[in-house]
């Protein structure tokens, strides 16, 4: 066969890489082509459900473009944005200088930079189960292992510290803490947060504090994890995506804790950041506007989310065969359906999609056992739309469980 007829082969690392939240859309498109309207409850994007980016952020980005800020920026980000992030953290109780801040293409890029900078192939990272799948995707790419620590639905989805301890080996390098949590909606109390820091510190781990929902706890903004121990090896992350309603801008930031133990990691992260030039320049002016301007939209958004969380918990717990732990932050719930023996979470989710057009993501896409029957609901749709969706989930589940067991 001539070389031109040979398919280009793909790298082995791609075989290890999965991203259920987006992969499942292929199934949804098939359902759509067959004529069923799909209700997409798979992706946490408030804009797709009618929430609007605050106008002063849009104006700041548009003005930046008009004013000619269309150049490459410093790889760590423009000084004004790093100063705004540093001032924001300092105001929240974590003094950090602008030279320990990086502006990134969303938290996603910052997390990938840090993991790539400090974790070698074959080493491991503690990741919650269930987890936001970015972590397992990045670890697959760099040839490292996720160590899934249990978070317990019978205990408000809080981390099981004994289980975490039992997983740590000499090659464990980092601990991922997602609080408020996607996919469970859990918000960790201070005692748990302190215990997580103590565990990380005891084992010399770098702690990645994913606080992308930090301003979306229903009781109000959470203090960053780093406030509890300013000397701990914590990198704090957030972005414009959720609490500032601009996910498509891909604008986020990371603040590297002041401890000199993180100096090497910071230098390595900056070195890697040089290789991708910079995050989008005009959006960095949006970061400045977000962190120095009016944030009143957040109180309204939190209230909207609280109402949806209450409806979701009440309605799902009212369905025979489904139980749901109440979320306390963000816009996700992780209900569980009591599956008949032999069935898996993706059987249920795909059957729900094909029958009703409702698209959720199966729990095993976030690392739970397939037989566990967990699935994730994004509850950003309007209350009336959600009510209709839960009616349909109830009717479908009644039928699914009867048919399966009968
Ligand atoms: C827990 C968590 N971390 C990180 C991200 C990625 O956020 P960003 O848009 O800032 O990259 C998400 C997005 O859904 C998330 O849920």
> What would the pLDDT profile of 277-295 be if each residue is shown by its tens digit?
999 999 999 999 999 999 9
**Separation between Cα atoms, residue 35 and residue 296, nearest integer Å:** 41
Estimate the crossing angle of helix 345-356 against helix 383-405, to 10 degrees.
120
- What's the CA-to-centroid distance between 8 and ligand 1, angstroms? 32
373 lines ligand 1 (CB under 6 A): no
Mean pLDDT (whole number) for 96-121: 98
Q: What is the pTM of this model?
A: 0.95
Look at residue 405 in the predicted model and tell me its pLDDT: 46
Distance CA 164, CA 181 (A): 17
Ligand 1 pocket check for 243: Cβ under 6 Å: no
- 67-71-76 Cα angle (round to 5): 115
pLDDT at 119 over 90: yes
214 CB within 6 A, ligand 1:
no
CA-based torsion, 222, 228, 231, 232: positive or negative: negative
CB of 251 closer than 6 A to ligand 1?
A: no
The sign of the torsion formed by the CA atoms of 151, 163, 213, 344 equals: negative
Q: How far apart are CA 220 and CA 201, in angstroms?
A: 28
185-201: pLDDT as tens digits: 999 999 999 999 999 99
Does the beta carbon of 107 sit less than 6 angstroms from any atom of ligand 1?
Answer: yes
Distance 319 CA to ligand 1 centre (A): 30
**Which of 134, 157, 186, 246 for mutating ligand 1's site (highest number of atoms within 8 Å of CB)?**
134
Instruction: Report pLDDT for 19.
Output: 66
Sign of CA dihedral 256, 262, 268, 271: positive
pLDDT attached to residue 20: 67
């Amino acid at each position: 066969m001539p070389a031109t007829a040979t398919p280009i082969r793909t790298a082995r690392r791609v075989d290890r890489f999965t991203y259920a939240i987006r992969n499942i859309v292929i199934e949804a498109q098939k359902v759509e082509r067959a004529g069923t309207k799909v209700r997409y409850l798979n992706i946490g994007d408030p804009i797709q459900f009618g929430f609007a980016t605050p106008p002063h952020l849009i104006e700041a980005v548009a003005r930046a473009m008009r004013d000619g800020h269309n150049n490459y920026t410093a790889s760590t980000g423009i000084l004004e944005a790093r100063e705004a992030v540093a001032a924001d953290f300092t105001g929240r109780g974590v003094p950090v200088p602008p030279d320990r801040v990086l502006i990134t293409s969303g938290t996603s890029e910052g997390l990938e930079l840090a993991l790539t900078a400090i974790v070698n192939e074959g080493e491991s990272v503690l990741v919650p189960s269930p987890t936001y799948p970015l972590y397992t995707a990045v670890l697959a790419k760099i040839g490292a292992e996720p160590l899934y620590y249990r978070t317990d639905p019978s205990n408000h989805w809080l981390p099981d510290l004994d289980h975490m301890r039992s997983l740590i080996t000499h090659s464990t390098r980092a601990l991922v803490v997602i609080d408020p949590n996607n996919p469970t909606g859990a918000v960790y109390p201070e005692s748990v947060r302190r215990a997580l820091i103590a565990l990380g510190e005891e084992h010399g781990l770098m702690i990645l504090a994913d606080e992308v929902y930090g301003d979306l706890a229903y009781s109000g903004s959470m203090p960053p994890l780093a406030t509890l121990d300013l000397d701990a090896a914590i990198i704090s992350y957030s972005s414009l995506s959720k609490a500032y309603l601009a996910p498509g801008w891909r604008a986020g930031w990371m603040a590297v804790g002041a401890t000199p133990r993180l100096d090497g990691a910071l230098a390595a992260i900056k070195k890697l950041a040089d290789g991708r030039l910079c995050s989008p320049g005009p959006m960095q002016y949006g970061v400045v506007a977000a962190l120095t301007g009016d944030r009143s939209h957040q109180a309204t958004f939190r209230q909207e989310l609280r109402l949806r969380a209450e409806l979701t918990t009440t309605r799902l717990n009212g369905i025979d065969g489904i139980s749901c732990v109440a979320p306390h932050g963000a816009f996700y719930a992780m209900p569980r359906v009591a599956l008949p023996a032999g069935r898996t979470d993706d059987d249920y989710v795909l059957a729900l999609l094909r029958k009703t057009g409702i698209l959720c993501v199966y729990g095993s896409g976030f690392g739970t056992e397939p037989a566990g029957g967990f699935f994730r609901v994004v509850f950003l749709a309007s209350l009336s739309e959600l009510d209709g969706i839960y009616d349909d989930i109830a009717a479908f589940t009644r039928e699914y469980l009867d048919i399966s067991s009968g």
